[in-house]
Amino acid sequence: MASIGVINLHDPIMAAPSPKTPRQNPFEGRQVHSRVVRSGFGSSPFVETALVNFYAKCEEIGFARKVFDEIPERNLVAWSTMISGYSKVGMVNEAFGLFREMQNAGVVPDEVTLVSVISACAASGALGVGRWVHAYIDKHLIDTDLELSTALVNMYAKCGCIEKAIELFDAMLVKDTKAWSSMIVGMAIHGLEEEALYAFSRMEEDKVKPNHVTFVGVLLACAHSGRVLVGQKYWSNMLEFGIEPSMEHYGCMVDLLCRANHVEEACAFVETMPIFPNAVIWRTLLVACKKNRNVDKGEIAGTRLLELEPDNAENYILLSSLYASSSQWGEDELCEETNEG
DNA sequence: CTAGGGTTAG
């Protein structure tokens, strides 16, 4: 009997620096896949499912499906893996379709399967499906563990039912970082800024450590409610936690400063970014510059924006309205101004 | 005991 030594860690292929996630190295994974098939381990349900999962995580969803389709006896875990893969890459219709196929095949979903289905509902705003799954959970007495509860809270929040999300969240006995984050982000996107910030303070009292997603919610709440100083305080707080700001965090801060009409400060803040600002950041700045009639800064933002998204017609309209807003058009000036450009 | 799950700005 061949040992697992077929996959030899001293082999040149396997000895390459190990990536943090499979996503970063689909190439090596395919080498392993090839070896798996040749070594005869391909018929193990564990190996088959791991391969489906691997390809899905590499966003090679077509390969994942191919391996899945070739599994002779698909069990619950195999179905769940494929549904999860579709859900994660945003192919929600495929996720729903496969969930239906799975039930038609007589495979009964468990809480792990339903987390992926609920997550697909949240991503697509499919409240009807989400409610159906929730009813299914209640009817079949499926264990609503931490992950499933969090998925439900997130789904209701994303689908506009913030009261339902809060109700479920309050009923949870154990809440971890992801549960709190879902709730805080949900409150923030629903304009419940006070509640979001209060939830954050309760989270601290409960000694649950916030992460980068938690701070997206907190900063969002500050931006939406115009709390510039509070937002800046949380920004420092985030850095103290050793959380490296991501594009989303910078986006929230730019939004925070721009909404408060601190345009110059927002521009200066963007200058300090160690990562290249994306189109959302430049667009936020451009809109603020337009509103504050700051053509100089607006032009810079507009130029960067057009470099990043030359095919987005909206950007050209924004930039033209920047010039329009600054020229203070009156009846007499109209001709002069238009002749200039 | 080994294969599947939740949170991220506009």
> Which has more pLDDT, A14 or A265?
A265
Q: Which nucleotide is nearest to A114 (CA to C1')?
A: B5
Give residue A135's domain range: 32-144
Amino acid present at A38: R
User: What is the per-residue pLDDT for A341?
Assistant: 36
Residue A49 has pLDDT above 90, yes or no: yes
Higher confidence at residue A24 or residue A228?
A228
The whole-number Å distance from A218's CA to B6's C1' is 19
Q: Is the CB of A294 under 7 A from strand B?
A: no
Q: Say if residue A20's pLDDT is above 60.
A: no
Per residue in A52-101, pLDDT (tens digit) is 999 999 989 999 999 999 999 999 999 999 999 999 999 999 999 999 99
Q: Is the CB of A326 under 7 A from strand B?
A: no
Strand B atom within 7 Å of A309 CB? no
pLDDT band at A327 (very low <50, low <70, confident <90, very high): confident
Query: What is the model's pLDDT at position A326?
Result: 73
pLDDT (tens digit, 9 = 90+) per residue, A233-268? 999 999 999 999 999 999 999 999 999 999 999 999
Is the per-residue pLDDT at A19 higher than 60? no
**Nearest residue to B9 via alpha carbon and C1':** A248
**Closest residue by Cα to residue A29 from A2, A47, A10:** A47
- What pLDDT is recorded for position A42? 62
Q: Is the CB of A46 under 7 A from strand B?
A: yes
Report pTM: 0.87
In a domain, A56, yes or no: yes
A244 part of a folded domain: no
Asked if residue A208 has pLDDT above 60, the reply is yes
User: CA–C1' distance A163–B10 (Å)?
Assistant: 24
* Strand nucleotide closest to residue A215 (CA to C1'): B8
- A25 pLDDT band (50/70/90 cuts)? low
User: Distance (Å) from CA A207 to C1' B1?
Assistant: 32
Q: What is the CATH number of the domain that holds A49?
A: 1.25.40.10
Question: What is d(CA A203, CA A182) in angstroms, rounded to the nearest whole number?
Answer: 12
- Tell whether A62 is covered by a domain: yes
Strand B at less than 7 A from CB of A213: yes
Q: Decide: A226 and A258 in contact? Cβ < 8 Å.
A: no
pLDDT digits (tens, 9 = 90+) for A274-299: 999 999 999 999 999 999 999 999 99
Question: pLDDT confidence of A7, banded at 50, 70, 90?
Answer: very low
CA A192 to C1' B6, in angstroms, rounded, equals: 22
For the residues A11-18, what does the mean pLDDT come to?
Answer: 41
A93-145 pLDDT, tens per residue? 999 999 999 999 999 999 999 999 999 999 999 999 999 999 999 999 999 99
Q: What is the mean pLDDT of residues A221-231?
A: 98
Residues 232-271 on chain A lying near strand B, CB distance under 7 A: 246-248, 250-252, 255
Structure tokens at A10: 């001293």
In sign, the C-alpha dihedral spanning A286, A287, A288, A291 is: positive
**What is the pLDDT of chain A when averaged over all its residues?**
89
What percentage of chain A reaches a pLDDT higher than 90?
Answer: 81
Measured distance CA(A189)–CA(A193) in Å, rounded: 8
Q: How far is the C-alpha of A144 from the C-alpha of A122, rounded, in Å?
A: 17
Count: domains in chain A:
1
Asked whether residue A189, judged by its CB, lies under 7 Å from any atom of the DNA or RNA strand B, the reply is yes
More confident residue, A173 or A44: A173
In a domain, A86, yes or no: yes
- Inside any domain, residue A276: no
Residues A192-198, mean pLDDT to the nearest whole number: 98
Predicted local confidence at residue A337, as pLDDT:
46
* First CA to last CA distance, chain A: 79
Res A302 pLDDT > 50? yes
Which residues of A in 88-147 have their CB below 7 Å from strand B's atoms?
88, 109-113, 115-116, 119, 122-123, 145-147
Question: Do the beta carbons of residue A291 and residue A307 sit within 8 Å?
Answer: no
- Does the pLDDT of residue A182 top 60, yes or no? yes
Residue A220: inside a domain, yes or no? Answer: no
Spacing of A139 CA from B9 C1' in Å? 37
Residues A247 and A249: their CA atoms lie apart, in Å, by 5
Task: Give, as ranges, the nucleotides of chain B with any atom within 7 Å of a protein CB.
Answer: 2-10
- The residues near A224 (Cβ < 8 Å, ≥ 6 apart) are A188, A191, A193, A259
| Mean pLDDT computed over A187-216 | 98
For A7, other C-beta atoms within 10 Å of its C-beta total 15
Which residues 155-174 in chain A have a CB closer than 7 A to strand B?
Answer: 158
Q: Is the CB of A325 under 7 A from strand B?
A: no
Whether A41 is covered by a domain: the verdict is yes
The three-state (H, E, C) secondary structure of chain A, written as one string: CCCHHHCCCCCCCCCCCCCCCHHHCHHHHHHHHHHHHHHCHHHCHHHHHHHHHHHHHCCCHHHHHHHHHCCCCCCHHHHHHHHHHHHHCCCHHHHHHHHHHHHHCCCCCCHHHHHHHHHHHHHHCCHHHHHHHHHHHHHCCCCCCHHHHHHHHHHHHHCCCHHHHHHHHHHCCCCCHHHHHHHHHHHHHCCCHHHHHHHHHHHHHCCCCCCHHHHHHHHHHHHHCCCHHHHHHHHHHHHHCCCCCCHHHHHHHHHHHHHCCCHHHHHHHHHCCCCCCCHHHHHHHHHHHHHCCCHHHHHHHHHHHHHHCCCCHHHHHHHHHHHHHHCCCCCCHHHHHHHHC
Q: Would you say residue A82 lies in a domain?
A: yes
